[in-house]
Amino acid sequence: MDFDPTPEEVALRAEARAWLEANAEPYDATALETTRTYRAHTEEDDEAMLASAREWARTKAAARWAAPSWPEEYGGRALTPQLASVFGEEEATFDVIGRMFMVGTEMVGPTVIQWGTDEQRDRWLEPILNADDVWCQLFSEPGAGSDLAGLSTRAVRDGDEWVVNGQKVWTSAAHYANRGILLARTDVDVPKHKGITAIVVDMGQPGVEVRPIRQIDGAIHFNEVFLTDVRVPVANTLGPEGMGWPVALTMLGHERASIGGGGMYTFEQVVQLAQECGRVDDPVIRQRLVDLYEHFELLRFIGYRVKTALAKGEMPGGEASVMKLLVSELYERGGDLMVEILGAGGMLTHEDAPYGGRFTDLFMGQWAPRIGGGTDQVQRNVIGERVLGLPGDLRADKTLPFKDLPKS
Ligand SMILES: Cc1cc2nc3c(=O)[nH]c(=O)nc-3n(C[C@H](O)[C@H](O)[C@H](O)COP(=O)(O)OP(=O)(O)OC[C@H]3O[C@@H](n4cnc5c(N)ncnc54)[C@H](O)[C@@H]3O)c2cc1C
């Protein structure tokens, strides 16, 4: 494991920091009002957050910081993933909404760069940088989440068009996105992983109906999306027909790699909360604070392992899976501890609650990283099978044609 930054990293960090200092205000990592909940409770809050995030995206795009790992010809800096993450680390120490459009910059962009045609790269990449195009990921369905390859939204070819019918759910950002990468079944006569195609859909077109889902914390983060006879040009197929599964794996790999960047709060803020609430002398709270500190440190050190692998040009496998699980556990422990510190006030929400409800929001928000991008349980299966070499689940559904699989 390498703790020392490379000379390139030192130089890039200095350049990024100087640019950020000239363009943004520093983030106070101890003040309680600056924990990042990003959970707007009203439509006006939502719009204000979106406008602020878009303005920041444009500022970054003008200086080529919006997607530093993309090739230079598409507005990036051709940085290695390791060096690109340096900018993210520095950005997290400034008071900006830096990750609102990460589906486009960190997931769709790299997937289009890998799988798209030249014409598609020219058409789709540049508007992502300025947040002129906002993307969403139309993968999960009511009957296909962890078992994503079991999806049943159909796309049937009609001349130069696909005709799409089906339903997606938990689609983050679909209520303000104008484009989506959709996974649809295009062949039911082959095993489930083989008959899927990735298709890019305009969210504003006829037949696409977006129904926002209001969450327990009052915010709207994701949506149901109903697709009825949606006509999409075949030219919008990303990757070859029937190769939607490898395209999806590319995108999900980038999603997992991006989860955990730019934390919602710091350890210092939780200590500050305990101090302000007069709980810092409570031995049980102190013990749990230490436990949380250990978790922050574990994440920091596993981060070094991931970086070391990337610096050597290797793909971090086991480290990345363990890191995703540790991020989940951090938000679980941190959220539980915050409401414990608040005492009875932890039962209230929004403006009725202490600190305007930002800590109860963080408590309720812990399930997002624990489920999104693959649940903790599925992540444990991955670690068991691919890292520890344990035998995999018995799977009877890998070889049969999709149409012959039992469905609920
Ligand atoms: C904040 C957030 C944002 C999201 N954004 C998007 C998005 O933009 N686009 C999108 O397409 N989806 C999105 N999702 C959906 C997400 O990918 C799914 O919720 C996730 O894959 C789990 O699927 P599911 O909800 O259908 O649960 P299920 O797969 O039905 O799982 C239910 C329970 O069973 C467990 N389980 C399932 N299979 C196994 C197994 N083999 N072994 C052990 N336990 C198992 C799970 O861990 C879970 O506890 C988002 C989810 C969240 C929370």
Nearest alpha carbon to residue 104 among 40, 46, 61:
61
Nearest alpha carbon to residue 257 among 12, 84, 78:
84
Residue nearest to atom 7 of ligand 1 (CA): 171
Residues forming the active site: 255
Asked if 127 contacts 177 with a C-beta cutoff of 8 angstroms, the reply is no
> Which pLDDT value is given to residue 34?
63
Burial annotation 250-273 (CB, 10 A radius, 16+ → b, else e): bbbebbbbbbbbbbbbbbebbbbb
Closest approach atom of ligand 1 to CA 381: 42
> Which pLDDT value is given to residue 36?
62
The Cα–Cα gap between 28 and 270 comes to 13
Eight-class DSSP state of 4? S
- Substitution candidate for ligand 1 out of 37, 134, 146 with most atoms within 8 A of CB: 146
> Which pLDDT value is given to residue 258?
67
- Substitution candidate for ligand 1 out of 179, 258, 375 with most atoms within 8 A of CB: 375
CA–centroid distance, 145 to ligand 1, in Å, is 5
- The residue behind tokens 């996974």 is 183
The CATH code of domain 7-100 reads 1.10.540
CA–centroid distance, 139 to ligand 1, in Å, is 11
CA–centroid distance, 372 to ligand 1, in Å, is 6
- Cβ(213) – ligand 1 distance below 6 Å: no
- Cβ(371) – ligand 1 distance below 6 Å: yes
Q: Give the dihedral sign, CA 77/78/84/86.
A: negative
Closest approach atom of ligand 1 to CA 140: 11
Pair of tokens at residue 212: 């926002």
- Cβ(143) – ligand 1 distance below 6 Å: no
Superfamily of domain 135-243: Butyryl-CoA Dehydrogenase, subunit A, domain 2 (2.40.110.10)
- Cβ(139) – ligand 1 distance below 6 Å: yes
Class of domain 264-387: mainly alpha
| Neighbour-count burial of 65, counting CB atoms closer than 10 A to its CB (0-12 exposed, 13-18 middle, 19+ buried) | buried
> How many CA within 13 A on the CB side of residue 124?
31
Q: For every one of its 408 residues, what pLDDT tens digit does the chain have, with 9 covering 90 and above?
A: 677 888 999 999 999 999 999 999 998 777 776 666 655 666 777 788 899 999 999 999 999 999 999 999 999 999 988 888 899 989 988 989 888 899 999 999 999 999 999 999 999 999 999 999 999 999 999 999 999 999 999 999 999 999 999 999 999 999 999 999 999 999 999 999 999 999 999 999 999 999 999 888 778 889 999 999 999 999 999 999 999 999 999 998 888 766 555 578 889 999 999 999 999 999 999 999 999 999 999 998 888 887 777 777 776 677 777 888 999 999 999 999 999 999 999 999 888 888 888 899 889 989 988 998 889 999 899 899 988 999 988 887 888 999 998 876
> Which pLDDT value is given to residue 309?
77
Written as one letter, the residue type at 75 is G
Nearest alpha carbon to residue 223 among 232, 214, 233:
214
The Cα–Cα gap between 287 and 340 comes to 13
The Cα–Cα gap between 183 and 380 comes to 25
Domain boundaries, the chain: 7-100, 135-243, 264-387
- Cβ(384) – ligand 1 distance below 6 Å: no
Give the relative orientation of helices 318-342 and 283-311 as an angle to the nearest 10 degrees.
160
